[in-house]
Amino acid sequence: MKDERIQAVVHQSQAMGFSILYFGMLAIFLFRMVYLKQSVRDFGDFALVWLIAGLSPSLLTAMRGGLDTSQKPGRARWLAPMFSALVITGFQVYYNLAEGVGYSQAIGWISSLLTLAVSFVIALTLLTLNQRLLEFLQRRWERHNLE
């Protein structure tokens, strides 16, 4: 049986390695999309593995009851999804400006603004649904294990 301190150090080291891998792959994806002008289709298999690897710790943590539920309801619940959706939309704006997508005519501007608005709403909706799913999994774990 290992000492708890040693196990904690091993877990911290593994978490740091995962973070480096996760954010390193994100940087590579952004580099490939922005500077090399590659489509996600060119590296979709890696993107899918990255997405699954990024979502699985959150889902497993919620399913095992490790989520912090001390967050107060109200506006604070919307800050993380709102900020994330703004970042996603910001990347899309940068990408559209770099590509010069549809900005030669007025209809192109209107179309681009509508696309950005729809993109923001979809990102906000998906991120909020993800947050609610994690909260649901946490409550389910609490019902089954704390009764």
- Tokens at 43, concatenated: 């590296």
Distance CA 135, CA 124 (A): 16
Which residue, among 86, 22, 29, 30, has the nearest Cα to 58 in the 3D structure? 22
The predicted pLDDT at position 33 comes to 81
**pLDDT of 99:** 65
Phi and psi (nearest 5°) for 75? Answer: -65, -30
Cβ pair 69, 63 in contact under 8 A: no
Averages of pLDDT over each 10 residues, the chain, 147 residues: 78 87 88 82 83 82 74 65 77 69 61 76 81 83 80
Does the CA dihedral 125-80-113-96 come out positive or negative?
A: negative
Q: 74-84: b or e for each residue (b if 16 or more CB lie within 10 Å)?
A: eeeeeeebbeb
Q: Copy the structure tokens of residue 64.
A: 């095992």
Please give the sequence-ordered ranges of beta strands (E in DSSP) within 18-60, or none if there are none: none
pLDDT on residue 22: 86
Residue 104, class by beta-carbon neighbours within 10 Å (0-12 exposed, 13-18 middle, 19+ buried)?
A: exposed
Task: Look at residue 120 and give its three-state secondary structure.
Answer: helix
